[in-house]
Structure 1
Amino acid sequence: MGKSAQKEKIKWLAILFLAVGCFVLALTTQQVLFNLITILLAIVVYRFGQPILFKEYDEKRKKKYEEAIKIRQAAQEAVVSKKVFKNKKVG
């Protein structure tokens, strides 16, 4: 990971922790303004920071999903071709 990518990740983590801090502050003080700030920061992080913050996780999840699709298709083909349900004659 390059320095610029590391800086971007730190920036988005700081914004995310700021949103969490505003959320906790909103809970303790019951101020609507902090809730609005939290919602705004959460939307910004979700929209622009999510690909940077969770890049590795998304890649792993996509790989697992593709593997699951392959397994599901193989199982479907086996059921459709009835290879699974054929009895082998012992003899």
Structure 2
Amino acid sequence: MGAISLENRAKIKWQVILFLAIVSYILAFATQLYFFNFVAIGLAICVYKYGNPVLFKEYYERKRKKYEEAMKVREAVQTILKNKKA
């Protein structure tokens, strides 16, 4: 059996927690019990705070790279404009 990397284990853990939050929300909706709402909200907050960087790591890295490239282009344009004025 192949070993699961530590990164994949963390991703699977947060996916399971997110799934439990969704199931809890559906149960709360179906049964009208507030307890399941509180569980769903608590799990969703945990996933948002701690699971986001794990679940969406690639997305945030792509976003950061695009931002850095945009800042380089912006600085280059500002430099060109300053040199033209002088």
What TM-score comes out, normalization by structure 2 length? Answer: 0.77
Question: Map of 1:36-55 to 2, 5 A cutoff?
Answer: 36-55=38-57
Q: Output the aligned Cα RMSD.
A: 1.9
Q: Distance in 2 between matches of 1:73 and 1:30?
A: 55
Bigger radius of gyration: 1
1:32 and 1:67 mapped to 2: Cα distance? 47
In structure 2, the partner of 1:81 is 83
Higher helix proportion (structure 1 or 2): 2
Q: Quick one: which of 50, 63, 74 aligns to 1:72?
A: 74
Deviates most, 48-57 or 25-34: 25-34
CA distance in 1 between counterparts of 2:32 and 2:68 reads 45
Number of equivalent positions: 82
Question: What is aligned with 2:17?
Answer: 15
78 and 28 in structure 1: CA distance in 2 versus 1, 3 angstrom threshold: farther
Query: Could you list the runs of 5+ residues in structure 1 that have no partner in the other structure?
Result: 84-91
The Cα of 1:62 is off from its aligned counterpart by 0.7
Distance 1:20 1:73 in 2: 44
